[in-house]
Homo-oligomer: A and B are copies of this chain.
């Protein structure tokens, strides 16, 4: 069974797909009751975000576009200090997509949503010509607890910069899959809800955070330094590294600081909280390799990121120029 134009026509075949597949896996009362919109409980402050996923291939070692689409949006909500609550999903299916493949992806989305504690409450399905691929948009709503203010603008002198794990795993997993190389690298795609909530529950003063996706750590830190008008210093020898990814990247001439990740967060926390924050992050299943990789020093050029290199030099990091790896997420 494959996807045809009728699955996107809005008639009986579309509603059959919705009933038999989406409702079955995403099952919840809100979704079943929703017409074209879901009505849900709100909160005084909410965070809203959106991400479209066009990753190629749609299944890869360690994940798939379904898991990715939940992780990306959940992590974006977390980065705004929000507790992720509701997701919507918009599928753009290409004619010829195997319904069994779609089912695996929908099942993976459902599992990841459950892990992240979010409900998928509304959806949409369109069909286009193509070669059996699919794109997914997920948009998300989260509650922002009173008094929680997370923003790059809040970064302060002396803040510790903590990275939750090794760089480049998702990027390398996509690349090896396209190159048809077998090795033990798997994508890091993960929802970081428990890691982030542990920090807030324990009173850690988190000033800013970002998930380190397209463009990699260098791009994300450059953007944050620009917003904060702060000087950020990181130390190359403190960057946690996955040996397999390092080997793979050195062969290909890639730098992990420019590679995309899908389950890594960068935190700016009060200097006094550094050790406690690191311990809490390391206790999380997705934070075992976390490290304090640098600090905020206003004395450095404001709005810039410098890296002390392994060879003892200093390198100014810029946002990525050029195209990176197409269709990584």
Which residues from chain A sit less than 8 Å from chain B, CB to CB? 4-6, 8-15, 33-54, 76-77, 79-82, 86, 88-92, 121-124, 126-128, 135, 137, 139-144, 151-152, 210-211, 213-215, 219, 223, 260, 319-327, 329
Partner of A13, one of B37, B91, B323: B323
19 A-B pairs within 8 Å (CB atoms) are namely A8-B327, A9-B214, A9-B320, A9-B323, A9-B324, A9-B326, A11-B321, A12-B320, A13-B321, A15-B223, A33-B151, A35-B210, A36-B79, A41-B45, A42-B42, A49-B122, A88-B139, A90-B139, A137-B137
A35 CB to closest chain B CB (Å) equals: 6
Q: In the complex, which of the residues B49, B90, B214, B326 contacts A37, with contact meaning CB atoms closer than 8 Å?
A: B49
Q: A46-B141, A48-B40 are in contact. Are A5 and B323 (CB under 8 A)?
A: yes
CA distance A325 to B319 in the complex (A): 44
Number of copies of chain A assembled together? 2
B82 touches A52 (CB 8 A): no
B36 and A80: CB pair below 8 A? Answer: yes
A86 contact from B37, B48, B77, B142, Cβ within 8 A: B48
Q: A9-B215, A42-B42, A210-B35 are in contact. Are A50 and B139 (CB under 8 A)?
A: yes
How far is the CB of A85 from the nearest CB of chain B, in Å? 9
Pick the most buried of A6, A86, A123, A326: most chain B CB atoms within 10 A of its CB: A326
A266 to B315 alpha-carbon distance, docked (Å): 63
- Whether the Cβ atoms of B37 and A122 lie closer than 8 Å is no
- The answer to whether A127 touches B88 (Cβ under 8 A) is no
A326 to chain B, nearest CB (A): 4
Chain B residues near A215 (CB, 8 Å)?
A: 9-11, 14
